[in-house]
Amino acid sequence: MDFFNALTNGSSRGVLHAWTGDEFEHLPWREVARDAHGMAARLRELGVRSGTRVACVLTNTPDTVRGLLGIWLAGGAVASLPLPTRGQSAQAYGEQLVALSARLEPTLLLLDDELVPLVPGELAAQVPIRGWATLHGSGSVTPSPPGRDELAFIQYSSGSTSTPKGCALTTGSVERQLEIILQLTGGRPGADTVVSWLPLSHDMGMFGCLLYSWAYDFDLVLSTPERFGMAPRSWFRDMSEYEATMTAGTSTAVHLATRAQGKGSLPRQLRLRAAVIGAERIDGDTLTAATEKFRPFGLSDTAFQPAYGMAEATLAVTGKPWQDKPRLLSFDRLALVDGSAVEVEPEHPRASRLVSNGVALPGVSVHAGEAGQVAEIEVSSPSLASGYHRDPERTAERFRDGRLHTGDLGFLHEGELYVTGRLDDMLSVGGRKVYASEIESAVDSLTHIRKGCAAVVEAGGSGGAQLVLLAEAMGKPRDFRPLAEEAASLAMDRAGVALAECLFLPRGTLPKTPSGKIQRFRCRSLLQDELLEPVARVALA
């Protein structure tokens, strides 16, 4: 496909329905492209041209969407900087912007007006700061978007495992990824409707929803993370109202939307064909419960589409064929920790139920050690990043021999990928290896723990490393000790290890990325620096 020609196609019929705070604004793609040409003229006046980089904090607004194309038409490469993450101080975010900009050397920094106060004075003195709305204009330029093998987009990671890395993507990589997503979801150019609330600063929101819809002339209903957070029911209600055929989200978001639906109704029957679920560990019980909840409204047993991907591959790597049901199998959890994938019956006392992340997508190769062995997942893909922008050390570490060494652990079983965790999820306590995510998934099921708000971290002690559970409490338990003991029992049952302590935290305390992944490295730092203020602290050992 000719990516930029597709975005500027004047004969397109698709419409962007963008949430503006009170209602959806309805903008045909051809009008968005026309406005982007005017923005490109203004960007040229500000120094944007071929070979320059424009730092952007991308939010889900119509002006952000227009400005994105405007940067490309002016010749610049878009550098998507992270949004402030939950639990991150204004000072820490400002320091992050300074560090990333020093490596990026942008011509301009674009962001929403309300985020301008977070920009440190030292950065504002070096780089011109502009709001998206200031780019409106009626001028025109001769478009000079990045060529197929030229840098078009730098996707800074959310920083769930370390400081953000800038994945350098060429126009060709983006084009190939959009073709891959079309195959993954069974897309029909000009005939589908996509609904998304995911942040455009995240690869799933940007490539999987916005650019995918725009390039293939789909209608896109673009909500916001804030609206979803305040009203999780809005996700499925929007899909019903606009008769969506495709969406994307996380397992935790599906849980929240299902719980919020309660006994409510939907205005129309769902027409959803593909709901791509990824970005975190996928919970099989959550998908089953959501399917049962929304089946009376037309949701099919094949709609949920577990997938696996990452910013380094632009987005998608594996996925469930859209016409199949999700596959859930049980494996011996102790064998998994020891590095072997041994399938067992669901009733087995050590059964760990895993959701398949599907098969390798067209043109993609996935490797994970020998058959039946848990190992680091390695990926080859036509949409792979060329490396990390101006970061040769981390590029050499992760991009080797034509493959991306992902840092994720998993195994291949009957041609399908099962992801078990990350290398930094693998903790060592008393000579025993432990998957932190296995314990966290179990603790998530407890009544007084908020879903997706539990983190197990290592803490040093006089007797060596100990495990501490950080969890956000839900409701108002009178006594936290029974809850801590129940969590400790689950840790012993699932991983054979003892929790030394449980810290129960107020809502919104655990640091998370905009897509909802807990930042384990920041959790460790907050614990070590004694910056947490728990509502209760229970010692267990």
CATH of the domain at 400: 2.30.38.10
Tokens 């070590």 identify what position? 528
Position 533 in a domain: yes
Give the Cα separation of 368 and 186 in Å (integer).
Answer: 27
Q: Are strands 399-400 and 129-131 parallel, antiparallel or unpaired?
A: unpaired
User: In terms of pLDDT, which residue wins out, 26 or 262?
Assistant: 26
- Let me know whether 408 and 451 are in one domain: no
Position 345 in a domain: yes
Please report, for residues 44, 384, 518, the alpha-carbon distance to residue 230 in angstroms, rounded to integers and kept in the order given: 39, 35, 19
pLDDT classification of 462: cutoffs 50, 70, 90: very low
- Let me know whether 509 and 528 are in one domain: yes
CA terminus-to-terminus distance, the chain: 60
Asked which of 383, 407, 423 is the last residue of a domain, the reply is: 423
pLDDT classification of 260: cutoffs 50, 70, 90: very high
pLDDT classification of 244: cutoffs 50, 70, 90: very high
Q: Which two tokens stand for residue 437?
A: 């995510």
Position 311 in a domain: no
Give the Cα separation of 86 and 463 in Å (integer).
Answer: 33
Q: Are strands 129-131 and 108-111 parallel, antiparallel or unpaired?
A: parallel
pLDDT of the residue at 460: 64
- Let me know whether 457 and 376 are in one domain: no
Give the Cα separation of 458 and 88 in Å (integer).
Answer: 21
Position 247 in a domain: no
Give the Cα separation of 346 and 344 in Å (integer).
Answer: 6
Mean pLDDT of the chain: 90
- Let me know whether 434 and 533 are in one domain: yes
Q: Which two tokens stand for residue 380?
A: 């080859």
Confirm if 209 and 248 have CB atoms less than 8 A apart: yes
Domain that holds residue 341: 317-423
pLDDT of the residue at 518: 78
- Let me know whether 522 and 435 are in one domain: yes
Asked which of 379, 408, 423 is the last residue of a domain, the reply is: 423
User: In terms of pLDDT, which residue wins out, 174 or 531?
Assistant: 174
**CA-wise closest residue to 499 among 454, 536, 468, 462:** 468
CA angle 265/266/270 to nearest 5° reads: 135
Give the Cα separation of 300 and 147 in Å (integer).
Answer: 41
Classify 525 in phi/psi space as left (phi over 0), alpha (psi -120 to 50) or beta.
alpha
- Let me know whether 354 and 334 are in one domain: yes
- Let me know whether 321 and 414 are in one domain: yes
User: In terms of pLDDT, which residue wins out, 518 or 196?
Assistant: 196
Tell me which H or E stretch contains 330. Answer: strand 328-332
pLDDT of the residue at 517: 73
Residue 122 has pLDDT above 70, yes or no: yes
Residue 160 has pLDDT above 60, yes or no: no
Assign residue 463 the CATH number of its domain. Answer: 3.30.300.30
Position 521 in a domain: yes
Average pLDDT over residues 306-328: 95
Asked which of 423, 447, 463 is the last residue of a domain, the reply is: 423
- Let me know whether 497 and 478 are in one domain: yes
pLDDT of the residue at 159: 56
- Let me know whether 409 and 442 are in one domain: no
* Domains in the chain, number: 2
pLDDT of the residue at 431: 61
Share of residues in the chain with pLDDT > 90 (%): 62
pLDDT classification of 175: cutoffs 50, 70, 90: very high
pLDDT of the residue at 432: 63
Residue 461 has pLDDT above 70, yes or no: no
Confirm if 183 and 381 have CB atoms less than 8 A apart: no
pLDDT of the residue at 442: 84
Position 168 in a domain: no
- Let me know whether 455 and 357 are in one domain: no
Pick from 19-33, 270-284, 307-321, 413-427: least confident: 413-427
Pick from 35-44, 205-214, 259-268: least confident: 259-268
Position 470 in a domain: yes
Position 97 in a domain: no
- Let me know whether 376 and 413 are in one domain: yes
Q: What are phi and psi of 370, to 5 degrees?
A: -80, 160
Which range has the top average pLDDT, 7-21, 61-75, 254-268, 521-535? 61-75
485-528 confidence digits (pLDDT tens) = 998 888 887 777 788 899 999 888 888 776 667 777 778 878 87
- Provide the strand spans (E) within 190-271: 193-196, 219-222, 246-249
Residue 425 has pLDDT above 80, yes or no: no
pLDDT of the residue at 464: 55
Amino acid at 486: E
209-243 confidence digits (pLDDT tens) = 999 999 999 999 999 999 999 999 999 999 999 99
Tokens 């495709």 identify what position? 246
Residue 113 has pLDDT above 80, yes or no: yes
- Let me know whether 484 and 513 are in one domain: yes
**CA-wise closest residue to 356 among 254, 295, 284:** 284
Q: Which two tokens stand for residue 438?
A: 């296995």
Give the Cα separation of 405 and 97 in Å (integer).
Answer: 27
* Residue 287 burial (CB count, 10 A): 25
Pick from 114-123, 353-362, 377-386, 486-495: least confident: 486-495
